[in-house]
């Protein structure tokens, strides 16, 4: 059985946010096929039960906390030495020592880095000769560039700078790593445009279809929209504030008793201020989002900055919720607009689409059935993660040469 070192920039449990959902299911997938050693950093305190859950899956686990002060220092050091703040943000000297110690007593067949920020650990002297795969998930450099567009100075300048540095990191990864994975065909094309790399393997996101199910009774007859997401994440904050300010008032003019529920962890002050608007309620840090989805009429995803695949869209569809989404929120999701979900760009289109669903229950039910069927056919974790199976296959692994021009056999084009 292969021995894999899996490095993640956040603790992959519980699966309660986008990146953690993917890393959690990827860990479970690998652990069923190989011996996995897990190394990760943690920005927040980790409950003892979390470590126990990870130990059930892994041969060994190292979770190293990073303090706000240490992250600021490491961010600054990386920026001053030509690297990205992303690389500094997830760096822990203690984790680096632990990984080096593991490499002395065990020989790993592969390292899998989840996101570009963890690749720095794979370049440690005692790990440098181990074949390395990187799940970029999406093209982070372009996400930072998108954030810069709507930001005020000096944030706009900082975001553009980080975009340039992360693109340099992505270029380094695509030159030296033995395998690169990406979340969708759209992101693969963007990666090619950004750094000229054509050979990334596509491994889409899935949904836990037994957890997000349509087996429920509608708990509320009151018309409502809901948004689910991490509420201190800039693209989510921007989307919710825009929808509340530009769209929701127009919907309330047509449906005076309708509600807009904003559900998720760590709401920012900008989100909390929206609670004073008529019909808007903030539901922070709920233990389970499913009851809120169940009682909502429509799920909305009005993101204007989006990369990768939006789990919030797939999970709502899996529960049979009619979804109205922006074109940006559908990046990487090959659902058919008008058949599996509805799409809106401008405020008037949002009002029109939500009003249509509110006033056409039969159409809403049809959309609900098609949404669930689309997710079942295209986003089951058991098939989405199959591209990673090559890392656990029993064929002999030939170690790559230290020369950047010599690549591991798995690096052949798809």
**DSSP labels, 315-377:** HHHHTT--EEE-TGGGTT----BTTTBEE--SHHHHHHHHHHHHH-HHHHHHHHHHHHHHHHH
Instruction: State how far the Cα of 106 lies from the Cα of 72, in Å rounded to an integer.
Output: 33
3-state secondary structure of 112: strand
Q: Which helix (H) or strand (E) holds 40?
A: strand 35-42
Identify the residue whose tokens are 């929120």.
329
Angle at 20 between CA 14 and CA 24, to 5 degrees: 70
Query: How would you write the pLDDT of the chain (414 residues) with one tens digit per residue?
Result: 999 999 999 999 999 888 999 999 999 999 999 999 999 999 988 987 999 999 999 999 999 999 999 999 999 999 999 999 999 999 999 999 999 999 999 999 999 999 999 999 999 999 999 999 999 999 999 999 999 998 899 999 999 999 999 999 999 999 999 999 999 999 999 999 999 999 999 999 999 999 999 975 455 568 999 999 999 999 999 999 999 999 999 999 999 999 999 999 999 999 999 999 999 999 999 999 999 999 999 999 999 988 889 999 999 999 999 999 999 999 999 999 999 999 999 999 999 999 999 999 999 999 999 999 999 999 999 999 999 999 998 654 443 433 333 333 333 333
Instruction: State how far the Cα of 164 lies from the Cα of 378, in Å rounded to an integer.
Output: 34
Identify the residue whose tokens are 């509600």.
259
3-state secondary structure of 281: strand
On whether the pTM is more than 0.75, the answer is yes
Pairing of strands 224-228, 298-301: parallel
Instruction: State how far the Cα of 332 lies from the Cα of 18, in Å rounded to an integer.
Output: 14
Hey, what domains does the chain have and what are their CATH numbers? 3-203 (3.40.50.2000), 224-379 (3.40.50.2000)
Residue 353 φ/ψ, nearest 5 degrees: -70, -45
Note whether 114 and 60 are within 8 A (CB).
no
The CA radius of gyration of the chain, in Å to the nearest whole number, is 22
Angle at 250 between CA 227 and CA 260, to 5 degrees: 25
Residue 86's Cβ-side half-sphere holds a number of Cα atoms within 13 Å equal to 25
């Amino acid at each position: 059985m292969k021995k894999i070192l899996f490095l993640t920039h956040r603790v992959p449990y519980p699966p309660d946010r986008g990146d953690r959902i993917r890393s959690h299911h990827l860990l479970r997938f690998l652990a069923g096929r190989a011996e996995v050693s897990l190394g990760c950093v943690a920005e927040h305190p980790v409950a003892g039960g979390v470590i126990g859950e990870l130990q059930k899956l892994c041969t060994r686990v190292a979770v190293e906390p990073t303090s706000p002060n240490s992250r600021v220092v490491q961010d600054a050091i990386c920026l001053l030495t030509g690297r990205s703040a992303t690389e500094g943000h997830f760096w822990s000297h203690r984790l680096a020592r632990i990984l080096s110690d593991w490499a002395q007593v065990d020989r790993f067949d592969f390292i899998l880095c989840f996101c570009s920020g963890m690749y720095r650990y794979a370049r440690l002297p005692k790990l440098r000769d181990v074949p390395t795969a990187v799940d970029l998930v999406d093209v982070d450099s372009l996400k930072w560039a998108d954030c810069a567009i709507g930001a005020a100075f000096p944030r706009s300048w900082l975001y553009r700078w980080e975009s340039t540095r992360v693109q340099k990191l992505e270029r380094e990864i695509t030159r030296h790593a033995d395998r690169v994975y990406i979340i969708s065909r759209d992101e693969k094309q963007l990666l090619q445009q950004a750094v000229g790399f054509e050979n990334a393997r596509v491994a889409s996101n899935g949904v836990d279809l037994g957890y997000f199910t349509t087996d429920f009774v509608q708990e509320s007859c009151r018309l409502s929209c809901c948004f689910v997401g991490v509420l201190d994440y800039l693209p989510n904050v921007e989307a919710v504030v825009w929808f509340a300010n530009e769209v929701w008032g127009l919907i309330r003019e047509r449906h005076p008793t309708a509600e807009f529920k904003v559900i998720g962890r760590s709401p920012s002050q900008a989100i909390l201020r929206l609670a004073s608007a008529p019909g808007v309620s903030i539901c922070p840090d709920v233990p389970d989002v499913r009851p809120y989805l169940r009682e909502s009429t429509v799920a909305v995803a009005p993101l204007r900055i989006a990369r990768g695949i939006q789990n919030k869209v797939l999970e709502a569809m899996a529960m049979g919720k009619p979804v109205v989404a922006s074109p940006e929120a559908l990046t990487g999701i090959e659902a058919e607009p008008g058949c599996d979900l509805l799409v809106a760009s401008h405020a008037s289109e949002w009002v029109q689409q939500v009003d249509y669903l509110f006033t056409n229950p039969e159409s809403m039910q049809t959309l609900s059935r098609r949404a669930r069927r689309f997710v079942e056919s295209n986003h089951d974790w058991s098939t989405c993660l199959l591209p990673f199976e090559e890392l656990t296959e029993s064929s002999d692994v030939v170690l790559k040469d230290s020369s950047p021009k010599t690549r591991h056999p798995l690096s052949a084009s798809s």
